[in-house]
A = this chain, B = another copy of it.
């Protein structure tokens, strides 16, 4: 955890938000957004995804975006990669953190990448090996992401034991952290609290664990609170709740960054983030959108009378 913050808010909008909408942001527009949010104090931003441009043209400039973003003082720059090829490109561009995601659900994983979970785990090992083979990459953090950890649109329920098994495999294979995602918005807060409690019992409380929620059924923020209750201190979110999951029909956007930061700061948990700066970032982002809906409540309601953020205190 960075100094002076209690919870790490990981903005994933430039990746998860933009990859799920029709509007294609030019590189300059992405950088406007990323720079403004970093200035507001957001400590970590997922700026792109190293996938083949024919699959996601919105992400075709991820190399440029990473190269520019790593010059922003104090910002941790993360990028998503689907395989070794993507990891090579992401590391070469200078990303501080490389996220590798597989679906705990075999059916969902196969539907996405035509690989079994075991094959995806082997791919993960290749990425770790690539990092470890290059001394200049030794500070790169590799994150193992567990998608559909709370349920899947193909298989329905996903067994917690499968989540534990994949989490242990990630760590055994060299993951520096793990991230647990409700990819399709199936989770409820009771389930979230129980799953993270079991996860900490399984992997120990020293492992950095992040959580990724969508607000598909209105429970995103309740799930975030439940994760905090279980001890999670790293949360993904997206400015304006932009986007969703292109592979998950019906899944709406990620939880809203500004609502999440309001909740954390109101609860006395320092994020290092200035809420007014987030709203300005949101305006900058919205300028580049074409007919894409944004979400969130704090943007309309503003701060309560007498509100003091933990970060400002």
Interface positions of A from 210 to 265, Cβ below 8 Å from B: 215-219, 221-222, 224-226, 229, 250-252, 256, 259, 262-263
Cβ of A267 and Cβ of B191 under 8 Å apart? yes
Cβ of A305 and Cβ of B190 under 8 Å apart? no
A301 an interface residue at 8 Å Cβ cutoff?
Answer: yes
Cβ of B215 and Cβ of A297 under 8 Å apart? yes
Chain B interface: which of A33-41, A45-53, A96-104, A149-157? A149-157
Interface residues on A, range: 35 or more
Q: Contacts A305-B153, A305-B156 hold; do A300 and B219 have CB atoms under 8 A apart?
A: no
Residue-by-residue, is A17-40 near B (CB-CB < 8 Å gives 1, otherwise 0)? 000000000000000000000000
| Chain B residues closer than 8 Å to A218, beta-carbon distance | 221, 256, 259, 262-263, 296-298
Residue of A185, A190, A215, A307 with most chain B CB atoms under a 10 A cut-off: A190
Residue of chain B at shortest CB distance from A306:
B156
Instruction: Give how many copies assemble into the complex.
Output: 2
| Chain B residues closer than 8 Å to A124, beta-carbon distance | none
A304 an interface residue at 8 Å Cβ cutoff?
Answer: yes
Cβ of A217 and Cβ of B250 under 8 Å apart? no
Residue of chain B at shortest CB distance from A152:
B305
Residue-by-residue, is A173-214 near B (CB-CB < 8 Å gives 1, otherwise 0)? 000000000001110111100000000000000000000000
CA–CA, A226 and B153, complex, Å:
28
Interface positions of A from 43 to 69, Cβ below 8 Å from B: none
CA–CA, A263 and B222, complex, Å:
9
CA–CA, A211 and B225, complex, Å:
18
| Chain B residues closer than 8 Å to A215, beta-carbon distance | 297
Residue-by-residue, is A109-125 near B (CB-CB < 8 Å gives 1, otherwise 0)? 00000000000000000
Q: How far is the CB of A189 from chain B (nearest CB, A)?
A: 5
Cβ of A259 and Cβ of B219 under 8 Å apart? yes
Q: How far is the CB of A57 from chain B (nearest CB, A)?
A: 27
CA–CA, A219 and B298, complex, Å:
9
Residue of chain B at shortest CB distance from A194:
B267
A74 an interface residue at 8 Å Cβ cutoff?
Answer: no
CA–CA, A307 and B217, complex, Å:
13
Cβ of B263 and Cβ of A219 under 8 Å apart? yes
Interface positions of A from 278 to 302, Cβ below 8 Å from B: 296-298, 300-302
Cβ of B259 and Cβ of A306 under 8 Å apart? no
Q: How far is the CB of A126 from chain B (nearest CB, A)?
A: 32
Q: Contacts A221-B218, A263-B222 hold; do A301 and B190 have CB atoms under 8 A apart?
A: no
Cβ of B188 and Cβ of A263 under 8 Å apart? yes
Cβ of A188 and Cβ of B266 under 8 Å apart? yes
Cβ of B156 and Cβ of A216 under 8 Å apart? no
| Chain B residues closer than 8 Å to A153, beta-carbon distance | 305
A–B pairs, 11, beta carbons within 8 Å: A151-B304, A151-B306, A156-B304, A186-B304, A190-B267, A218-B256, A219-B263, A221-B222, A222-B224, A250-B300, A252-B297
